[in-house]
Amino acid sequence: MRSDKWNFSEEYYEKSLNTLNISLNSIPAYRKWQPYDPGPEFDVDTRYQSLPVLHKTQIREYFPDGLAPPERDVKRALENGEIGLAHTSGSSDISVTNIWNQEWWDASERASWKLNSIAREIATVTHPEAILANPLNVGMPSDNGYLSMEQRRLSRFLFLNEKTDPARWTPEHMDRMIEELEIFRPVVLEANPSFLARLSRYAIQHDKEVYQPGLIVFTYEYPTRFHYRQISRVFNAPTASSHGSTETGCVFMQCEEGKFHQNTEFCRVDIQPLKKECGDPEIGRIIVTTFNNPWYYMLRFDIRDLARIDSSGECACGRNSGIILSAIEGRAISLTLTCDGKPVTLRTLDDAMGALTDIDEYRLDQVNSTKYILTLVSQNRAKENLTADARDILRNVYGEKADISVNYAEALSPEDSGKYSIARAVFPIDVEDFLDEDYLVRES
């Protein structure tokens, strides 16, 4: 989507141009992209759109020196601790190792706080922050025993959980998390929405009072309507979703009005829209170019996420610089297809599923073009009625030919990545098959 829909500063275009020139001329991974570049006589947006997209397979191919400027000694910087390594969990089909620049990441996060009035006011860099996440993603994993509160402290952070599967949390473990929230009294609670929803369900069932932070920030996963409902029954704190990746830092931050704002200080974003015949052209794939990281150049990186742009280009919060999204549509790996082959985003599915009540968790697996398996976790004893309602909802989404099986489970567990899969086809789906060809450049 062309950038003339949005308001960008001169500094943003300067960073875009500088990053493009350094990448094409100095970074080994992008040298073979030079023939795609129409040249400096064209505007920077045209030049970016003329280039291919970077995927995780290419990061693997060129890591680590091929993604850093030649004057940077990656080996020495790793040895002296100036940079580190970060391993992604593989939730987008392939796991990779990345160069980790903590200073750059922290600066990117601080810049994103400015995009939410509450975060901007209470996030002081030294504020106490509790994190409820899968330790496979962040924290200290310990499935064979429990770690003390002191063992789970790191600077201003407290990692509430060391267990990788919430389905196996004990009442004692959840009581400890609730008690530690009261002891630690975090200003910000950062959480996997699925993990916080699990703790909230326990608090509801056992009538537990829980400490209220100043802000809850959802990260790592897509927050479903059921997550929001369960969490809001326990926490009255405002919520916001932070969206990004290990490779690209904080890309979008949800403001107090619910829209998502681009972190223009630290990244360029290009959106590749869907074909009109495949869905709403305001939905597209997010492509990210990072700024300000001298060790790791991500040029037009596919973070494997889909978003819905806000066509007005405005927000009631008053922040109108950069791309504004009305919603994150979910991961590309969470795409499923209707019976006639049109893509269904996770948000579309979740909006439909939200009509159901008494649902703790759900997962949809698409087996083939017409067969779907829905797994529900529910305390509702009227399973026949719930099954019928769920089938009706899914047929409205996927078509009358949809063959829908509904199963029930006591609980759902996260994937090996540490994150939950809410929807997924068991056969390959290439999101590029549904994108507008005018925005695609395929490497020859």
Q: Supply the pLDDT for residue 2.
A: 53
Per the listing, tokens 């500088």 go with 18
Q: d(Cα 120, Cα 110) in Å, to the nearest integer?
A: 9
Asked if 180 and 154 touch (Cβ cutoff 8 Å), the reply is no
Question: Minimal CA–CA distance to 123: which of 115, 138, 113, 132?
Answer: 113
pLDDT in tens, the chain (444 residues): 555 678 999 999 999 999 999 999 999 999 999 999 999 999 999 999 999 999 999 999 999 999 999 999 999 999 999 999 998 765 445 788 999 999 999 999 999 999 999 999 999 989 999 999 999 989 999 999 999 999 999 999 999 999 999 999 999 999 999 999 999 999 999 999 999 999 999 999 999 999 999 999 999 899 999 999 999 999 999 999 999 999 999 999 999 999 999 999 999 999 999 999 998 889 999 999 999 999 999 999 999 999 999 988 899 999 989 999 999 999 999 999 999 999 999 999 999 999 999 899 999 999 999 999 999 999 888 889 999 999 999 999 999 999 999 999 999 999 888 889 999 999 999 999 999 999 999 887
Three-state secondary-structure class, residue 159: strand
Question: Minimal CA–CA distance to 224: which of 82, 321, 346?
Answer: 346
Q: Supply the pLDDT for residue 92.
A: 47
Q: Supply the pLDDT for residue 4.
A: 63
Q: Which residues does residue 366 pair with via DSSP β-bridges, in sequence order? A: 372, 425
Q: Supply the pLDDT for residue 6.
A: 87
Q: d(Cα 314, Cα 255) in Å, to the nearest integer?
A: 12
**Tokens standing for residue 335:** 């795409």
Q: Supply the pLDDT for residue 380.
A: 86
Q: Supply the pLDDT for residue 89.
A: 63
Per the listing, tokens 């924290």 go with 139
Q: d(Cα 31, Cα 253) in Å, to the nearest integer?
A: 32
CA torsion through residues 346, 349, 353, 354, sign? positive
Q: d(Cα 208, Cα 203) in Å, to the nearest integer?
A: 5
Burial state string for 391-427 with b = 16 or more CB within 10 A and e = fewer than 16: bebbbebbbeebebebeeeeebebeebbbbbbbbbee
> Residues near 28 by Cβ (< 8 Å), separated by ≥ 6?
62, 65, 66, 67, 70
Q: What's the one-letter identity of residue 100? A: W
pTM of structure:
0.95
Q: d(Cα 213, Cα 224) in Å, to the nearest integer?
A: 21
Q: Give the chain's domains with CATH numbers.
A: 114-237 (3.40.50), 336-431 (3.30.300.30)
Q: Supply the pLDDT for residue 132.
A: 98
**Tokens standing for residue 219:** 């990260």
Q: Residue 365's CB: how many other CB atoms inside 10 A?
A: 17
Complete DSSP assignment for 97-121: EEEE-HHHHHHHHHHHHTTSHHHHH
